[in-house]
Structure 1
Amino acid sequence: MYRVLIVDDELLIRTTLKYMLDWEAIGFTLSGEAANGREALEFIKKSTPDIILLDMRMPVMDGLQLSYELKKDYPDVQMIILSNYDDFEYVKNTLKNGAVDYILKHNLNEDTLRDALLRAKAVLENSKASRDRVLDVVPNNLAAFKENLVIQLLTGQFRSEEEVEKIFDALQIKLDTKNVVFIEIAIDHYRSVVGDGDLKAASFLEFALVNVSEDILKKYGNGLVTHISNEKFALILSFAQYRSSLKIDERIKEILQSISTSLYELLNITVSFSVGTMCDSILTISESYRKAEENLKNRFYTGKGSIITSNEIKSNCTDSAGLSIETEKKLITCLKLQQKDKLMELLKGLFEFIKKEKISLSGSQMIFFDLIGIISKICKENHIPLSTVYSSSETPHKLMAELETLDEIESWFINIFINIYNALHGTDDVASSESEYVRQALTIIRNHYSENISLSYVARQINISSTYLSTLFKEETGEGFAQYLIRYRIEKAKALLREENIDIKEIVKLCGFSDYGYFFRIFKKKVGMTPMEYAALCRT
């Protein structure tokens, strides 16, 4: 006889479990019960059970904490998890700690409990070497049949609708064989949801997603859903009784939004849907499947949690050879000249262009690689460690490859450019200034130094007299307004002169000097050499 300990804070659940089975008839005996993890540990120290039926949410010590203790001190004890949908994170971690099975409480009955116990018994009877292997769940026959059925449908292995209808009747599938559509469900950020190589968490997620979706389809009396592979699931709907394509579209959207909302609320995951073409007969559902697979690639543009249809897809994607030289030059200039607002505007405009023109995936990658190239160049020139810019030790190309949508890549690049901007310019006298008026004046200089600004102009902008601003400014910065502005413009000019292929006349304009001769004279006075000499020195 294998000894079973029941651990659940609800007396009703413990009582129900005790009287649900004829325990001894199937080779088990109840060794005791506990209302929380701490009570269970005290019991286990005195009499170690073989199997524990373990609730997740309990006071004092929950099921996850207890599973850690059991993995450490009692690795031979088999755990069967009792959970709700919203316990997914708990279940995922207890499976990592060696739980052999899980039962959703709303599915708890004599059959599910007996099956789980027999699986735990099989593990106990195996050798020690097999005890740590991945969850060995005997697949539910109905789920396995449905999965195999969908694969046969998608590969065109049926010759008549009558043959399919007989199988639907046998498996109690409510789905007409006329006017059908295939919809692919894809879990967003699948690897981060289940963890790398965590087949137990993946198995639970597959089961839960299908279960949640089936509960919703029951309300509509129509539909078949099953797992295909990894993050992908198949959903087949029929609209044999519908004549209006508009009504069909509305009903599809209604069903998918209901599934999406439930999965987010119950499992805390988002999914994307790719809708294939409508087929007259289920025998041609493979055509709808191929279209859905093709459409799913456009999740890159539409973003996670989206419903993707053929109507939203641009027929021809534009190719790209990467960033234009002009855009690359503008980005570098903004970084070097402390033009943060213009930098952000450029980046957002670039990604808006990619989205609007539907730049192909390969073309988009060319642009992204060029952006990474700019970052690497700036870091190398200014001796900025890459660890300051990137938040991980992984290569930027690998980090970017883990992002699934254009919106996520845009957000990632904006954060990276903000990091490099801060690394270049750090804390400046704008932040350190004590007077709010001087802070405002310095900010105006930073943002408008390339324009024709003066002390009186800045004073008007911040609503104080030019005399008062002049006094405050010199007290806090140590130099007069005009001297500070000239020095700031010269520093920006020096930064641009270090770049290749930038015309000096263009630099004069970018840095706010209206006269080339004046710029030449003031530069030589402040730097000790002409602009051309400085540029040549920087490139030797």
Structure 2
Amino acid sequence: MITIVLADDEKLIRAGLKKILLDSIDIPLEIIEAKNGEEALEFCKEKKPEILITDIRMPVMDGVELMKQLSELDEKQKPAIIVLSGYDDFSYAKAAIQSGALSYILKPVDKKELISAVNSAIMNSQKEEKEQNEQKFRQIIEKGRLDDVSGLPEITIKNGLRCIVIYGKNPIQAVEAVMHDRRYYVVEQTRNSVLLVYPFDGVEVKYDPTYLDTYIVGISGPADDYSMLRTMRRQARTAAMQSFFDAETGMMLERQRRGGLYYWENDTHISDFTQLDEGYEKMISHCDIASPEEAQKDVENLFNCFNDNAKLNSETLCYLYRKITSNMFTRYPGFTDSDMYLHIKSIMIENIFEFANLPEWQSSVLDYAVYLAALLKQDTKESPYITEALAFIKTHFKKNINMAMVANQVSVNYTWFSEKFKEHTGVNFNEYLKRLRIDEAKKLLEKGCYKVYEVAERCGFSDVKYFMKIFREETGMSPTEWSNKHIS
């Protein structure tokens, strides 16, 4: 529904303009008539119309003053303005333009010119509303909560929302081709993927089979609450991950992954990834003390987590992908931030759907881990006590340890140890210890079964308030917010 305030002091002119609009505009309109600028201003403040059509010459308050008053309103309250005037006077046109008028139309009004101006205003309004709602959707996904739902389209309990993720070359073309006149909102977009949300009208989106040869489309289950957006995004991505597995056997595809349409099926799902967490943690924490051969073995063992159920495999892969892309690339900043090979490799790994199949992606993860292990191993040749120190820290970081204690443990001068430790890890001892503890806290919080003070104690923080402060500084959110964000 588009609301239009129509301001003119002549009743017959208002009636004629109203009839033209109702007969010619093919979307629902609410047209509110005002006989002067003062009345129009009140309607604009109260109704917040998308469009104001106003005459220049009116009693009580003319169109120029009306536009001036509207220019002082909050940006969200300002309508698109179309000015009507019986005077071909440049000064009026200039005043209208300076006040932000979209169009200036001379009386007697040309019907085609009016319709064109109103349609243009409607398109601008819908585009602006769409962009504002897309931004709200992004905020909801980022924060995991709803701060402001004003302006968002209403959701019916019957049909609700859907999330769609599309992977492939120039995916926005596929979106435009299949959504047609449906209302949809682009929430995330990269060069080869797009995530959108759309109000589900009960009719499934129809995809041209030729598109499905080229694109992978994952569709979430429905939801009737905007707070479920993050969950729906995960469902859509998980559904798309099915393309890496054989639909019948559930085994990893050795050949080209399959394009097509994949739906999230809301029945049996994995809720416990403890075994995968343990395998991942062994791989990543072992990396800086393992040989390249041991690093390779750790990665191979990690990818043995896939079973023979395709649907559950897609959930496992989605979880593993999130672990690797959110943790692996930041674990050793002294190397990953400066080494070009690791940087390029991390970008490749993040673009998982550009790989022909899962073994190829696994091979890329393996290359990253082995190369990183080799760098770390080479760096410790001159300082072998660093390897011993790292192993000690990883075994005892949950306890009350400090750098003097660790330097003592490896029988190295405190100052010398401090310098060499930072050279190797890229951060000082306290920062390294803090990151280990925060990483452990994240894992415990994601399980959703520990209170915040219990997490603090299990990670080596003796003061829960200090833990909460440090956690927010590192992650940008409280421990509770992190837990809520990641257990959905």
Shared topology, TM-score over 0.5?
no
Q: Using structure 2 for the length normalisation, give the TM-score.
A: 0.28
Structure whose alpha-carbon radius of gyration is higher: 1
Q: Using structure 1 for the length normalisation, give the TM-score.
A: 0.26
